[in-house]
Amino acid sequence: MRIKQSLQVIAYKSVYAGAYAISLLPMTFLYAMASFTFFFAFYIPGYRKAIVIQNMARCFPSLQYGEISGIAKKFYKCFTAYFAEIIKSISAPAAVLNSKIVFENLELIDRHINAGRNVIASMGHCGNWEMLNIMPHKISHDIYAVYKPLHSPVMNRVMIKLRSRFGMKLTPEKSVIRHLLTQKSSPAIYLFLADQCPSIKQDQYKFELLNQETYIVSGMEKLARASGAAVVYLHITQQSKGNYKLKCLPVCSDAKVMNEGEVTQKYVDLLTENINEEPYGWLWTHRRWKR
């Protein structure tokens, strides 16, 4: 066991050191690498291209194949550029990253926190969501990112280090309920990516998302209702290459008084608006409707 742990530590330090060295390269070079990757991801052999095209065709039935293909191509260009930006964020100063994202209506979160309520900040895989790691520089309250640990212990440690670099606190999804319910004296913000396909064993709601009957994990709403938290939606769009805007939109001020399913329905509605505004910005490579 000790040998295995030692090897994992060596592997983690090696991977992180390599990624850090690459992050020191100019952004123009990293974007060039992203363009090279795009060519192979979209054309040769086409990374999950059939899944992306199928997902888009089902969600936008009124579009012709040429239009779908155009959105897919733009998605792959953005998708590969996101990785270049994530790598750069390993070493980029906070001031540089802070200049890459504009935050709007964060005072909505402040009002809820100052009133003594926890805030569930729900969002989707829109834009480069990893850029939100800089949020602790914009908000003076504790921010916890709820995450699902990766299967690889090495890559899990790398991502935790990257995401917590600017003060973001990470909590595994399995322990977030206990954490939130025991921290009533110090309200905080909890970030949830709630648009992932739930496993069969998870509690789930069923809604219509982008013309598809869709299962949504119920944990975000149930946690909000159990704790009486306020819920907001983080609307993320790309302003230009490498530059993003986040708008904080209200869902409810007290989930405890909402009817069951109502919070999730509002989340789905806002996510739908987010995707329709920028269809190439959502993460289309997932088998979102595999069941």
pLDDT tens for the chain, residues 1 to 291? 678 788 888 899 999 999 999 999 999 999 999 999 999 889 887 889 999 999 999 999 999 999 999 999 999 999 999 999 999 999 999 999 999 999 999 999 999 999 999 999 999 999 999 989 999 999 989 999 998 888 898 999 999 999 999 999 999 888 888 877 776 668 999 999 988 877 766 667 889 999 999 988 888 999 999 889 999 999 999 999 999 999 999 999 999 999 999 999 999 999 999 999 999 999 999 888 876
> Cis omega before residue 250 (within 30°)?
no
Q: What is the pairing mode between strands 212-217 and 204-209? A: antiparallel
At 202, phi and psi to the nearest 5?
Answer: -80, 150
Q: Provide the whole-model pTM.
A: 0.93
**Residue where the block lists tokens 């490579």:** 285
CA–CA separation, 181 and 141 (whole Å)? 17
CB 54 within 8 A of CB 210: no
Longest dimension (CA), the chain: 58
**pLDDT given for residue 85 in this prediction:** 97
Q: Which of 199, 244, 249 is nearest to 219 (CA)?
A: 199
Identify the three-state secondary structure at position 218. Answer: coil
Which residue spans within 210-242 are E strands per DSSP?
212-217, 230-240
- Report in angstroms the alpha-carbon separations of 76 from 3, 130, 210, 284: 40, 17, 20, 9
**Residue where the block lists tokens 């363009």:** 35
At 290, phi and psi to the nearest 5?
Answer: -70, -15
Alpha-carbon 84 to chain mean position: 16
Cα-Cα-Cα-Cα dihedral of 168, 170, 173, 177, to 10°?
Answer: -80
CB 85 within 8 A of CB 128: yes
**Residue where the block lists tokens 């592997």:** 11
Burial class (CB in 10 A: 0-12, 13-18, 19+), 190: buried
CA–CA separation, 103 and 264 (whole Å)? 23
CB 223 within 8 A of CB 120: yes
Tokens of 277: 């505004």
Tokens of 183: 């921290």
3-state helix, strand, coil in the chain (%, to 5): 50, 20, 30
What string of DSSP letters covers 187-206?
--EEEEE--SPPPTTS-EEE
User: Which 3-state string (H, E, C) describes 82-147?
Assistant: HHHHHHHCCCCCHHHHHCCEEEECCHHHHHHHHCCCCEEEEECCECCHHHHHHHHHCCCCCEEEEE
